[in-house]
Structure 1
Amino acid sequence: MENPQRDYSTISPSARGLLLMKGLTDIPFAREAAQLMLAPEPYIPDYNRTEPGFWGRMVHFENRYHSIDQLLQGLHSKNILELSSGFSFRGLAAVQRQAVHYIDTDLPDLIVTKQGFLHDLQQQLPPATGQLETLPLNVLDEQQFSAVTSRFEPGPLTIVNEGLLMYLDQQEKKTLCTLIRHTLEERGGYWITADIYLKRNKDLNQVLTGNDQLSNFFLQHRIHDNMFDSFEAAADFFHDAGFTIDQEAQPDYTRLTTLDYFLKNTGPATLEKLRQRGKIQTTWRLRLR
């Protein structure tokens, strides 16, 4: 099912760069993992940066992370599968708090590095309450997807992803939706995705990139082209794929540790432009319709 013309391993450098950014936040284990990433050199968070674009990205990614946690609350799910998790350690945090079975997945090369980080991080933690597995997975491979989901005990499954759909074209999105729908038809549960992005505003890259390296990465993977034309179009896409919106995350700006830095370094004219532009991303909890 994987497109033979695409090299999915090239996506991984974005996860590395994002981890070094998230080290400036209080996202669980982000700073510790960033230090492991740079070792033996020290990781020194730079809070003296003044670029509005940098702090805009920080606010965006920090809010996106917490939006998934918000929609996980109240589900009491014992089985959680995270797709293309990158260097996020949501699973490690979850099994410290709850008796859940959490399977954390991404491409093989990244997973090997992440397993090393997890080994080091777990040395400093008490025994987990739940069970964490970290496994390689190409999310478009039906056999791999089925093999991973079969590791869970019977019962509802919650699938989460943050930063995946914008790497997939329309047909690849449909393939993933089919795999997730079949899985939830068999088990029950929900799909939480933070990847509802709009492509209507081409100034998105000015807010979320702000440097040539990341801008070039967005261009290479056609990130803008893979976004949705509108929130209505996104809802229609998931409806046609067999899903309906169960709940939408609401931003909690009091939760964001980087918001003050963004406001301090962003002028009134830019803030007004962002307000006029409106929302460009949201997080949905989906269920079968």
Structure 2
Amino acid sequence: MLAHVTDTARELMIFKAQTTTIPYAREVAEHFKLAAPEGALKDFGFWASVVHFEMRFRSIEHFIEKSSVPNILELSSGYAFRGLQHCLRRPDIVYIDSDLFPVVAEKSRMLQTWGIPLPPNLHLKRIDATMAETYPALSSPVSVVNEGLLMYFDNEGKARIMNNIRAILQEHGGSWTTSDIYVRHDTDTVGSDRDKKWGTFFQKNKVNQNYFASFEAAEQFFYDNGFTVRDRYEPEFEKLSSVPMLFQYGDEAQLQALRERGRIQETWQLVPRH
């Protein structure tokens, strides 16, 4: 059941656990005893969702890998452990992995269960993205990243988050990469929501209303709130482990419908405008 926004972070692991590129996704799914619904692993709509979330994860990785900034602040990280992977590979960075308290506490328990010590350069922090006073003190440039946050807020809430991020970047330098550039679309188009739990949750939380009317409208909204787009992510389908499964279980009509729908989401790297 999806009762709270934090529940989505858990339930999305069903999709992410089907990939081989999202670190610890399968371990997280096992921790929560999550499994794909019966018949889902042969369902085109299910694999379309897997591809979407794998590509969204990859888009953030793309910009992290390109960055030379020593500090990374991930907002609303959910049950992603990208920070752990980066800190184990790169002892020269400082990674702040943040979310609301229930999520942060559960991630700490997972690490203890798995017997993985917290690297000294990884910090699990309780941060409410809308509340400036919960953000950490920084002393050098930072790459702020997030995926799956803005769609749960109306324009006023989005503006508060943007103001908090802009204040940090104006003081310390750096950039903000967000995968939350969604335009309004029919969530039933592909058909991965068999039991309608996602549709019900989205309706309850007005998610579709919180999407942008268009990519142009999104860019204008960011501009009005003090940001300009520095770069846009271009999909790297060849790096996604789930794409072959999409073609295996999709017929030509389904694949064509997916192509005709076009993009519903983009990932942008933004900087404060002067």
The TM-score with structure 1 as length reference comes to 0.87
Asked whether the equivalents of residues 244 and 287 of structure 1 are also in contact (C-alpha less than 8 Å), the reply is yes
Counterparts of 1:61-80 in structure 2, within 5 Å, are: 61-80=53-72
Asked whether the equivalents of residues 71 and 93 of structure 2 are also in contact (C-alpha less than 8 Å), the reply is yes
1:133 matches 2:123: yes
Counterparts of 1:167-178 in structure 2, within 5 Å, are: 167-178=152-163
1:21 matches 2:15: yes
Counterparts of 1:214-229 in structure 2, within 5 Å, are: 214-229=198-213
Supply the AA of the counterpart residue of 1:132.
L
Out of 17, 42, 45, which is 1:50 matched to? 42
Equivalent residue, structure 1, for 2:94: 101
Supply the AA of the counterpart residue of 1:202.
D
Distance 2:191 2:40 in 1: 18
Equivalent residue, structure 2, for 1:235: 219
Question: What is the SS of the residue equivalent to 1:155?
Answer: coil
Equivalent residue, structure 2, for 1:211: 195
Q: 1:20: Cα distance to partner?
A: 2.7
Q: Can you list the C-alpha shifts for 1:134-179, whole angstroms capped at 9, x where unaligned?
A: 111211112112xx2x0x4x21011101000000111000111111
Out of 228, 237, 243, which is 1:259 matched to? 243
Distance 1:30 1:160 in 2: 19
Equivalent residue, structure 2, for 1:165: 150
Cα pair distance change 1:33/1:79, threshold 3 Å = same
Q: Can you list the C-alpha shifts for 1:21-72, whole angstroms capped at 9, x where unaligned?
A: 211112111112222222xxx9689897222211111000000000001012
Distance 2:232 2:209 in 1: 23
Distance 2:77 2:217 in 1: 25
Q: 1:74: Cα distance to partner?
A: 2.2
Distance 1:207 1:93 in 2: 33
What RMSD, in angstroms, separates the aligned Cα atoms of the two structures?
A: 2.2
1:36 matches 2:31: yes
Equivalent residue, structure 1, for 2:261: 277
Equivalent residue, structure 1, for 2:170: 185
Supply the AA of the counterpart residue of 2:171.
E
Supply the AA of the counterpart residue of 1:281.
Q
Distance 2:104 2:61 in 1: 22
Distance 1:44 1:55 in 2: 11
Question: What is the SS of the residue equivalent to 1:276?
Answer: helix
Asked whether the equivalents of residues 178 and 241 of structure 1 are also in contact (C-alpha less than 8 Å), the reply is yes
Question: What is the SS of the residue equivalent to 1:225?
Answer: helix
Equivalent residue, structure 2, for 1:4: none
1:286 matches 2:270: yes
Question: What is the SS of the residue equivalent to 2:212?
Answer: coil
Supply the AA of the counterpart residue of 1:139.
A
Unaligned runs of 5+ in 2: none
The TM-score with structure 2 as length reference comes to 0.91
Supply the AA of the counterpart residue of 1:102.
Y
Question: What is the SS of the residue equivalent to 2:170?
Answer: helix
Percent identical: 35
Out of 110, 114, 118, which is 2:111 matched to? 118
Q: 1:73: Cα distance to partner?
A: 2.1
Supply the AA of the counterpart residue of 1:79.
N
Of residues 45-54 and 21-30 in structure 1, the stretch that sits farther from structure 2 once superposed is 45-54
Distance 1:106 1:120 in 2: 20
